[in-house]
């Protein structure tokens, strides 16, 4: 079999998910995997897990895919092996972990409502998944599962109906429901269960279990629906009315919760005005001149540095500081929720479920003593808002992509720092 490093340029992406899946199975179940013609067992370590994340990042970008081959994993016998020497895996329906996580947390919530008066387990969640039968979506794009099950109440004469609706792309639905993939999803099963057994879902379960009336509960995980007009990935309705269970989901150690894409100057205006009412319009002429000279990174760097100077100036005076932090809190909430009611960001990572409530972020950051710095990240700017102990509250960074027809496309990522988690997040 050919090794990964022999893959033609631009073709590595199709091998990334199945290879990571095989390695994760080796780590979790201590099973052998073929490397360089021999069978090895990959050690289950934090470093190896970080290496896989780095491999996924580098290998899915044509400009850095060759760099991914040199990344090193450690075996149980303390042997170091390079990613490029693994054999090419069979490609097939493995699926995207982030998309499959939407199905997992939705199914976990539905399973909790079906079993209202007791916590669920990963085993019960998996049993529920086996009841799902996917069908082609009405528009022919993707697959849907739509199941309604009885949900007993405290009064044995009253039974609720619990509907679970899930839509995903074919590869993600097939990957989620394929038991062979479940060992690689074990951490997501645990995270989903922890959220479903947490305070918000538990409170609704208790209310509907004890209210002595028939209710129609709907858990909606519409991965194929509107992805641009909402931040909500999974929602719950009771008798046709929205509840406060509206999940914006992140699977893995994902910091990003907002972005503004595009190289046009108007995009920089939108980014900084939305984030904290920062005015960068005076830079328009110079920005456009740099772009016309094909110096897009320099133009963006200039804008970031200008914004940082404005921020630091506002942070020096009590009046302007108060307004800036208020505007910043409003901007953070907008990027995280798009102003939708009762949206919480749930981060499923390392078998945990961390819940961010952005509604209170303005009050949480009001007492902070912050400073703004700019760091160079491979020629691109990263703006960091941090406290005096160097704990990051918020980061805004640039990702530059080459356009197929030439030129550069800019994405401005808005990301939460560790300090934000300390201020507004709780573990389920």
The residues, any chain, with a CB within 8 Å of residue 421's CB and separated by 6 or more, are 354, 356
Distance CA 105, CA 110 (A): 9
- Under 8 Å between Cβ of 362 and 329: yes
User: Quick check: 403 pLDDT over 80?
Assistant: no
CA dist list (Å): 348 to 127, 190, 327, 370: 21, 9, 29, 29
Any alpha helices (H) in 229-367, and if so which ranges? 265-276, 284-292, 296-316, 318-337, 361-365
Q: Quick one: pLDDT band at residue 94, thresholds 50, 70, 90?
A: low
Q: What per-residue confidence (pLDDT) applies to 141?
A: 81
User: Quick check: 18 pLDDT over 80?
Assistant: no
Q: Quick one: pLDDT band at residue 328, thresholds 50, 70, 90?
A: very high
- Under 8 Å between Cβ of 24 and 41: no
Distance CA 140, CA 81 (A): 43
Average pLDDT, integer, range 18-29: 79
Looking at 90-104, 211-225, 341-355, which range is the least confident one? 90-104
Q: Is residue 342 left, alpha or beta, with left meaning phi > 0 and alpha meaning psi from -120 to 50?
A: left
Copy the structure tokens of residue 51: 């290496």
User: Quick check: 251 pLDDT over 90?
Assistant: no
Q: What per-residue confidence (pLDDT) applies to 271?
A: 98
Roughly how many angstroms between the first and final C-alpha of the chain, as a whole number? 45
Sign of CA dihedral 322, 369, 255, 302: positive
Q: Quick one: pLDDT band at residue 186, thresholds 50, 70, 90?
A: confident
Copy the structure tokens of residue 256: 């990003």
Average pLDDT, integer, range 108-116: 97
Distance CA 29, CA 37 (A): 21
In 3D space, the residue among 428, 412, 173, 165 whose CA is nearest the CA of residue 300 turns out to be 412
User: Quick check: 228 pLDDT over 70?
Assistant: no
Q: What is the largest CA-CA distance in the chain?
A: 75
DSSP 274-311: HHH----GGGHHHHHHHHHTT-HHHHHHHHHHHHHHHH
Q: Quick one: pLDDT band at residue 91, thresholds 50, 70, 90?
A: low
Q: Which residue has the higher pLDDT, 368 or 399?
A: 368
Any alpha helices (H) in 13-129, and if so which ranges? 13-29, 46-59, 65-68, 97-114, 122-129
Tell me the per-residue pLDDT of 113-158, one tens digit each, with 9 for 90 and over. 999 999 999 999 999 999 999 999 988 889 999 999 999 999 999 9
Copy the structure tokens of residue 192: 């989903």
Domain boundaries, the chain: 4-85, 97-245, 256-427
Q: What per-residue confidence (pLDDT) applies to 407?
A: 78
Q: Name the percent of the chain lying above pLDDT 70.
A: 97
Q: Quick one: pLDDT band at residue 252, thresholds 50, 70, 90?
A: confident
In 3D space, the residue among 342, 335, 379, 380 whose CA is nearest the CA of residue 359 turns out to be 342
In 3D space, the residue among 26, 48, 50, 52 whose CA is nearest the CA of residue 39 turns out to be 26
Q: Quick one: pLDDT band at residue 1, thresholds 50, 70, 90?
A: low
Helix (H, G, I), strand (E, B) or coil at 263: coil
Q: Quick one: pLDDT band at residue 164, thresholds 50, 70, 90?
A: very high
Average pLDDT, integer, range 402-414: 84
Q: What per-residue confidence (pLDDT) applies to 345?
A: 96
Q: Quick one: pLDDT band at residue 53, thresholds 50, 70, 90?
A: confident
Distance CA 202, CA 196 (A): 7
Q: Quick one: pLDDT band at residue 74, thresholds 50, 70, 90?
A: very high
Q: What per-residue confidence (pLDDT) applies to 226?
A: 58
Q: What per-residue confidence (pLDDT) applies to 218?
A: 98
Looking at 211-220, 238-247, 276-285, 377-386, which range is the least confident one? 377-386
Q: What per-residue confidence (pLDDT) applies to 337?
A: 96
Strand (E) or helix (H) holding 177: helix 170-177
Q: What per-residue confidence (pLDDT) applies to 379?
A: 86
Distance CA 139, CA 157 (A): 40
User: Quick check: 13 pLDDT over 90?
Assistant: no
Match 């209170």 to its residue by tokens. Answer: 360
- Cα 207 to chain centroid, rounded: 30
């Amino acid at each position: 079999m050919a090794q990964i490093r022999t893959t033609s340029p631009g073709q590595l992406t199709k091998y990334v998910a199945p290879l990571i899946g095989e390695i994760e199975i080796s780590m979790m179940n201590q099973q052998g995997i073929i490397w360089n013609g021999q069978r090895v067992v990959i050690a289950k370590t934090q470093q190896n897990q970080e290496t896989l994340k780095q491999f996924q990042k580098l290998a899915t970008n044509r400009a850095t895919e060759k760099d991914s081959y040199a990344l090193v994993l450690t075996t149980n016998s303390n042997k170091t092996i390079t990613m490029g020497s693994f054999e090419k895996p069979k490609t097939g329906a493995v699926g995207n972990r982030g998309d499959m996580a939407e199905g997992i947390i939705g199914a976990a919530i539905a399973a909790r409502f079906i079993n209202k008066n007791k916590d669920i387990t990963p085993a019960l969640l998996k049993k529920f998944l086996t009841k799902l039968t996917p069908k082609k979506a009405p528009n022919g794009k993707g697959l849907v599962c739509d199941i309604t099950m009885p949900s007993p109440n405290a009064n044995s004469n009253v039974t609720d109906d619990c509907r679970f609706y899930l839509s995903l792309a074919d590869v993600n639905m097939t990957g989620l429901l394929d038991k062979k993939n479940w060992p690689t999803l074990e951490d997501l099963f645990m995270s989903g269960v922890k959220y479903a057994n947490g305070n918000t879902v538990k409170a609704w379960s208790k209310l509907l279990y004890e209210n002595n009336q028939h209710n129609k509960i709907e858990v909606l995980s519409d991965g194929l629906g509107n992805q641009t007009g909402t931040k909500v990935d999974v929602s719950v309705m009771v008798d046709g009315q929205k509840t406060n269970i509206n999940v914006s989901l992140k699977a893995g150690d994902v910091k990003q919760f907002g972005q503004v894409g595009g190289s046009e100057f108007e995009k920089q205006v939108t980014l900084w005005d939305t984030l904290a009412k920062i005015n960068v319009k005076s830079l328009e002429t110079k920005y456009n001149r740099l772009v016309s000279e094909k110096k897009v990174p320099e133009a963006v760097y200039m804008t970031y540095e200008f914004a940082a100077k404005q921020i630091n100036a506002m942070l020096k005076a009590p009046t302007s500081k108060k307004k800036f932090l208020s505007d910043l809190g409003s901007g953070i909430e907008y990027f995280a929720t798009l102003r939708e009611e009762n949206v919480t960001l749930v981060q499923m990572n390392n078998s945990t479920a961390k819940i961010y409530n952005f509604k209170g972020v303005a009050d949480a950051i009001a007492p902070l003593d912050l400073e703004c710095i700019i760091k160079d990240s491979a020629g691109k700017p990263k703006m960091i808002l941090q406290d005096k102990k160097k704990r990051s509250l918020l980061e805004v960074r640039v990702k530059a992509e080459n356009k197929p027809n030439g030129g550069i496309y800019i994405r401005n990522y808005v990301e939460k720092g560790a300090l934000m988690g300390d201020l507004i997040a709780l573990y389920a």
